Structure 1
Amino acid sequence: MTKKIPQFIWIGLATAAGTLLYTRYLGAEQQFDWGCAIVVGLVCALGNFIWPTKK
């Protein structure tokens, strides 16, 4: 559990940053979409936190 929390934070931040860059430079509107980045970051981080890892 102790390794999951930092991993949760980094996965969420990295995914949100990637979404921000995508919406800014490759999106149709050419502007940051903060709401989308927050939702995508949280969903990916929660999925990584909940989904069991295979060892």
Structure 2
Amino acid sequence: MRKVYWGYAANENLSNEELIRENYQGIRPAPGYPACPEHTEKGTIWQLLDVEAHTA
């Protein structure tokens, strides 16, 4: 997503381990954190992902 839609490092080719270690350019938006301080969207995200049906 970050390479195709956001235009970060289009030629980058990182391994899964490098991705897990966050060795990539770009933003890491998350509700409730400075990049996305709005907490009210958490409920919408929870519903869209159908979290209760996909977690134990």
> Per the shorter chain, which TM-score range?
under 0.3
Which TM-score applies when normalising by structure 1?
Answer: 0.26
Indicate the structure with greater helix content. 1
**Which gives a bigger RCO, structure 1 or 2 (Cα 8 Å, sep 6+)?**
1
Which TM-score applies when normalising by structure 2?
Answer: 0.26
Task: Indicate the structure (1 or 2) with the bigger Cα radius of gyration.
Answer: 2
